[in-house]
Amino acid sequence: MKVNNIQDFVNGVVQQAIGETAITTADNTGLISLGNTVLSSETNKDAFIKSLVDRIGKTIQSSRKYTRAQKRMIRDTFEYGAILQKIYTEPYKAIKNPKYDLQDGQSVDQYIVTKPSSKQKLFDEVNNFEIRATIWDTQLQSAFTSWEAMGAYIDSVFTAIENTVEIELEQCENMAISNFIGEKLAYAKTNPETGAHVVNCLQAYNAETSASLTAAQAWTSPEFWKWFGKTFRLTQKYLEKMSVKYNTEGYTRHTPIEYQVAMLHSQAIEAIDVYLQSDTFHNEFTALPNGEEVLYWQGTGDKAALADATTIDITTSSGTAVKQDGVIGLIVDIEAIGMMVNKPRITTSPYNADGEYTNYFYKQELRYYNDLSENGIVFVLSDTPYTTQE
């Protein structure tokens, strides 16, 4: 056990706190315990005799349950069968009413057959993973002073397993969303004249206002965020009307506001709050039936930088490599992205009498899909919008 005499340090920081001295650098070197992974027989000895080994006086199980922030994409599961089917019926076309064009000697055929035009989509992919953990019988008794203490440790092991499941499912959700964004970006590049799938916010703002902002300048521009709020709300209204413009397969779709999932990046929400000095848009956004704040699409990177948190870097399910920074929002039909967690279960091996342990298996089966025939709009704030890797 290391003992530090800190009277001078404490006196100094107190004087700074109460205003007796100016603020100076507080040297914490060696004062804050950063922890050791294992005990050392040379350093962890008592301070008096200096030969007795220090004992552990209290144990804290550093295990906290993690719950993923579920997106509005979890669907009902099904136990039997293997394929998810979606059926779509096209709107009918108007035809001439013959009532004002009747002719002598001619009849009006009221038995002409007009069949519905229906399409189906079948989603049959299943993804699965398992987490395996070995729980021993008596092997670690020497590390604890009671069954209660060892039991608390075993509980923390199971919490770690459950947390791993939550993290894995959360990232599967994130990748399903990122894949949809990537598919829309790729389609917008190869089919620039077909429909409206990506809002190039920087280009649109500069064109509309005759400004010449860069992406970095736009992030701190109150005028830009006013324009963005207006554009975001208008896009939601457009999606409520029947149109073929907002999906990549030419379906006639409409997405009422209660079926719209509006996702905004946390950085965009904070920028709106700070630079507009108003919570009006934030309140409107959080009041949406399916408004979601997104901290990152794919990950935070090693430094949690803005560029990383707003970037997707994937090869899409259709095989296109897409890397795009500055993705700040997505409005999508609630049926466009889905994930079903089928039959989560825990199984165990028989007790191994020789090794004195039992294996636990946490099994997950996932079905997640993108339906690009459903409406979706991606918002990008970047100097190089929706580029794909050739």
Same domain, 30 and 133: no
pLDDT bracket for residue 39 (50, 70, 90): low
Token reading at 296? 């990152």
What is the number of structural domains in the chain?
2
CB 195 within 8 A of CB 244: yes
Residues 156 and 51 in one domain: no
In the chain, the amino acid numbered 140 is L
Q: Do residues 160 and 132 make contact, with C-beta atoms less than 8 angstroms apart?
A: no
The angle subtended at Cα 219 by Cα 197 and Cα 382, nearest 5°, is 40
Same domain, 288 and 161: yes
Are 282 and 198 members of one domain? yes
Per-residue pLDDT reduced to its tens digit, 139-149: 777 777 788 88
Q: What is the dihedral of CA 159, 161, 164, 168, to 10 degrees?
A: -130
- Whether the CB-CB separation of 383 and 389 falls below 8 Å is answered with no
Tens digits of residue pLDDT in 331-370: 999 888 887 766 778 888 999 999 888 898 888 777 778 8
Domain encompassing residue 169 = 122-380
User: Same domain for 266 and 354?
Assistant: yes
In this structure, the answer to whether residues 156 and 47 fall within a common structural domain is no
Q: Please write down the long-range contacts of 74-77, taking CB distance under 8 Å and 24 or more positions apart.
A: 74/338, 74/339, 74/340, 74/341, 75/338, 75/339, 75/340, 76/340, 77/340, 77/341, 77/342, 77/343
Distances 209 to 147, 226, 382, 388 between C-alpha atoms, Å: 71, 12, 17, 28
- The answer on 144 and 17 residing in a single domain is no
Claim to verify: residue 186 and residue 294 sit in the same structural domain:
yes
Cα separation, 324 vs 388, in Å, equals 8
pLDDT (tens digit per residue) in 258-277? 989 999 999 999 999 888 87
